[in-house]
Structures are given as structure tokens and as C-alpha cells.
């Protein structure tokens, strides 16, 4: 770069000096080069320098075009999407700005395109809030990594009626890990989450510590778990933005996704109804986990189908109408974006 600057300075200086000498501003010396000769020489040097500068600039611009992939604006992306086939390089949901932004009263919410990660709507998406039973998605991920679902789990008195709404099991009852996981996810059983944690503790595994470690691995840097059920509104928190990462990780686990899409199930002699009331109302749901506590209010984590076979992620936190807010965001996204 410094050589180019020197050349840019030197070239016009040589040209001006040659021009002055060529005009006869200095007397000629007999037997030596005269002013005209030096003027012609310096002007020739300036032409050469200008040519070198031009070559450098052209070569540099060409190399930059070949080596750099400059980002394109959203307008350019839309234009390309109309003429290019969908690929990882050109794929982008296209926004229809004739559709107004939604208005929801939830404390926080986010909608993202699952494949590209593009944020389609956000409201306080980075605000730390209690998440209630959405916590159980992380509990399930860690359980599947650390514990054996084929094993038999015993229910202790300490695991029962954690929320004060009635016990989900009987003291001393034994269940398979598969039945326990289904009860935790479909019925959103706090007792089932506690049984997993107690069993893990007996094996020398701190389940909550493993949940926090997993959160860090997923890049959920604004998330902290203090219990496996999500009952601790004061110490367990996350953000809508972090929970998108949790759903992406959960999407890869068929044990969880297949369980969460069951509207009901008969498990260990009990009939369980899924707490997700959007099943059957919104087509293509892949993941749906509800939550509700006094401090967190209603929470919802949802992954469902979108246009052209794509999927979207919807997170709603701190809502007085979690199902209504989530459904509205899904329908708004279908109107406001095309894939």
C-alpha cells in the first residue's frame, strides 16, 4: 500500500517538472541535455508511473472480486431469490412488508427460520426470564446422554407432589426410563423430572450441573438451571434467543420429538394428555413444550412447519395467553414470509 501511495505522489510531480522544463524555464547548457530533453524524460517517467499505478489498481480490484465474498443487502437477496434456485448460498425467507408486525403482550418472544437461523420477529429476545417447564427439554437431553432408559427407576417420597398439585406417582412405584421420560414430556410431570435427578444423584451424577454444562456447550450463555423441572423462578432463567438453540439441539433427538408430538398416551396404567394444546391446531408441529408458573407465567417453545417444507421456531415467555400468542406468531409468519 505504501508503495502505491508513493507512486501516486511521484507520478504527477514528474509530469509537472517535465512540463516546466519543456517550456524552457531554464537555460540550455551546451554539450549536455537541455531543459527540453529533461522535460521529455520526466514526462516519459510520469507516463510509465501512471501505467504502473493503473495496472496495480486493476490487478488489485480483480483479485478482490475473486477472493472476497461480499455480503448482499436484503433487497439484493430478494431479487436473487426470484431468479436463482434455492440453495444454502441464496436461501432466505422473503418478507412481505405489507403485513404489519404482530402485537403481543408477552414479556419476550422470538420467531426464527430453523434452517438459516434468521430472526423473523423478536421482542425482548435477549431478556433473561424464568422459563418454567421448558426446562424439561434440557433435562431430557441430559437424561438421554447420561442415564439408561432401559433401567428401572424407583419413586421416593421426596420426588412426589413437588408443585403441590398432587403426586403423579405412588411412593415406591417403579417405572422404566422410557415411561418416566414420556410422563415428564407429555404431562410435563415435575415428579418425573425429580425421579431422574434423584436417580442420577445416586449414581454420582449432578443432573442440574450437567444441564448447565450442556447449555454452555450449546452457546446458551444467558441461561442457568437450578432444578430439573423449572419450578425455581428465581434462579432458573433463560432468554428467547437462547431457547432457540435448545430447540435446534432437541430437533436432532427423535426420542424427544416423537414423544412431544403425541396428543395423549397410556403410560404405566395412567392416561396422559399432552399439555400442548396446539397439537392438531397448528399443522407440522415437530416440538412443542409448555410451561407455567406464578413467576414465569405462561411459556411456550414450538417448532413447526412453514412454507416450502421449511420449519420455524417460536418462543414465547411471560405470556398470559401462551397458546394464543404462539399460534398468532405462527400464522403471522406464514403471511409475512415466503420461502
Boundary (domain end) residue, out of 67, 83, 112: 67
Q: 167: how many CB neighbours lie within 10 A of its CB?
A: 16
pLDDT of residue 27: 54
Are 58 and 112 in a shared domain? Answer: no
Distance of alpha carbon 145 from alpha carbon 217, whole angstroms: 14
Are 138 and 267 in a shared domain? Answer: yes
Q: Is the pLDDT of residue 86 over 90?
A: no
Are 109 and 48 in a shared domain? Answer: no
pLDDT of residue 334: 93
E-assigned strands of the chain? 94-95, 108-113, 119-123, 152-154, 174-176, 264-267, 270-273, 287-293, 297-305, 311-319, 337-338
Are 7 and 138 in a shared domain? Answer: no
Collapsed DSSP state (helix, strand, coil) of residue 95: strand
- Angle of helix 135-146 versus helix 190-202 axis, rounded to 10: 30
Catalytic residue (one of 133, 189, 238, 319): 133
pLDDT digits (tens, 9 = 90+) for 120-136: 999 999 999 999 999 99
Q: Is the pLDDT of residue 30 over 70?
A: no
Are 35 and 113 in a shared domain? Answer: no
Largest CA distance in the chain: 121
Q: Is residue 249 part of a domain?
A: yes
Mean pLDDT of 187-195: 96
Q: Is the pLDDT of residue 78 over 60?
A: no
Q: Is residue 107 part of a domain?
A: yes
pLDDT of residue 81: 42
Distance of alpha carbon 120 from alpha carbon 198, whole angstroms: 40
Supply the range of the domain harboring residue 117: 101-148+212-338
Q: Is residue 168 part of a domain?
A: no
Collapsed DSSP state (helix, strand, coil) of residue 139: helix
CB 215 within 8 A of CB 138: yes
Q: Is the pLDDT of residue 7 over 70?
A: no
Are 53 and 109 in a shared domain? Answer: no
- Its pTM stands at 0.73
CB 155 within 8 A of CB 191: yes
To the query of whether residue 194 is one of the catalytic residues in this protein, the response is: no
Q: Is residue 258 part of a domain?
A: yes
CB 178 within 8 A of CB 151: no
Boundary (domain end) residue, out of 42, 67, 92: 67
Are 236 and 316 in a shared domain? Answer: yes
Alpha helices in 203-320 (DSSP H): 207-217, 240-251, 254-260
Are 135 and 244 in a shared domain? Answer: yes
Are 28 and 117 in a shared domain? Answer: no
Q: Specify the higher pLDDT residue, 288 or 69.
A: 288
Are 118 and 254 in a shared domain? Answer: yes
Instruction: Label residue 52 by pLDDT band (50, 70, 90).
Output: confident
Q: Is residue 31 part of a domain?
A: yes
Catalytic residue (one of 46, 188, 194, 319): 188
Q: How many domains does the chain have?
A: 2
The dihedrals phi and psi of 268, each to the nearest 5 degrees, come to 50, 45
CB 223 within 8 A of CB 208: no
Catalytic residue (one of 69, 70, 73, 136): 136
Boundary (domain end) residue, out of 46, 67, 88: 67
Q: Is residue 296 part of a domain?
A: yes
Q: Is residue 183 part of a domain?
A: no
54-77 per-residue burial string, b: 16 or more CB within 10 A, e: under 16 = eeeeeeeeeeeeeeeeeeeeeeeb
Share of the chain above pLDDT 70, in %: 83
Domain holding 274: CATH number? 3.40.710.10
Are 106 and 227 in a shared domain? Answer: yes
| CA atoms in the 13 A half-sphere facing the CB of 12 | 4
| CA atoms in the 13 A half-sphere facing the CB of 24 | 0
To the query of whether residue 133 is one of the catalytic residues in this protein, the response is: yes
Are 229 and 115 in a shared domain? Answer: yes
Q: Is residue 23 part of a domain?
A: yes
Amino acid at each position: 500500500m505504501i508503495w502505491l501511495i508513493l507512486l501516486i505522489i511521484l507520478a504527477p510531480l514528474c509530469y509537472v517538472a517535465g512540463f516546466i522544463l519543456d517550456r524552457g524555464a531554464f537555460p540550455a547548457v551546451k554539450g549536455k541535455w537541455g531543459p527540453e530533453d529533461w522535460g521529455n524524460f520526466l514526462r516519459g517517467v510520469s507516463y510509465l508511473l501512471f501505467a504502473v499505478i493503473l495496472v496495480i489498481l486493476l490487478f488489485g480490484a480483480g483479485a478482490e472480486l475473486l477472493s472476497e465474498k461480499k455480503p448482499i443487502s436484503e433487497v439484493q437477496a430478494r431479487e436473487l431469490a426470484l431468479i436463482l434456485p434455492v440453495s444454502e448460498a441464496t436461501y432466505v425467507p422473503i418478507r412481505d412488508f405489507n403485513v404489519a408486525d404482530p402485537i403481543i403482550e408477552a414479556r419476550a418472544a422470538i420467531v426464527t427460520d430453523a434452517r438459516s437461523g434468521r430472526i423473523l420477529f423478536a421482542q425482548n429476545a435477549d431478556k433473561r426470564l424464568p422459563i418454567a417447564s421448558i426446562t424439561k427439554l434440557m433435562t431430557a437431553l441430559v437424561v438421554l446422554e447420561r442415564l439408561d432408559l432401559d433401567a428401572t427407576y424407583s419413586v421416593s417420597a421426596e420426588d412426589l407432589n413437588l408443585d403441590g398439585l398432587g403426586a403423579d406417582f405412588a411412593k415406591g412405584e417403579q417405572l422404566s426410563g422410557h415411561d418416566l421420560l414420556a410422563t415428564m414430556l407429555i404431562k410435563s410431570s415435575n415428579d418425573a423430572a425429580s425421579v431422574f435427578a434423584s436417580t442420577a444423584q445416586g449414581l454420582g451424577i449432578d443432573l442440574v450441573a450437567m444441564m448447565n454444562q450442556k447449555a454452555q456447550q450449546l452457546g446458551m450463555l444467558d441461561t442457568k438451571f437450578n432444578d430439573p423441572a423449572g419450578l425455581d423462578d428465581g434462579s432458573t432463567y433463560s432468554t428467547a434467543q437462547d431457547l432457540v438453540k435448545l430447540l435446534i439441539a432437541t430437533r436432532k433427538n427423535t426420542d424427544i420429538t416423537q414423544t412431544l408430538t403425541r396428543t395423549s398416551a397410556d403410560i404405566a396404567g395412567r392416561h396422559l394428555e399432552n399439555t400442548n394444546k396446539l397439537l392438531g391446531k397448528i399443522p407440522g408441529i415437530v416440538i412443542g413444550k409448555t410451561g407455567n408458573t406464578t413467576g414465569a407465567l405462561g411459556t411456550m417453545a414450538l417448532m413447526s412447519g412453514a412454507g416450502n417444507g421449511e420449519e420455524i421456531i417460536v418462543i414465547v415467555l411471560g405470556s398470559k395467553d401462551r397458546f394464543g400468542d404462539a399460534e398468532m406468531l405462527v400464522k403471522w409468519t406464514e403471511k409475512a414470509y415466503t420461502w
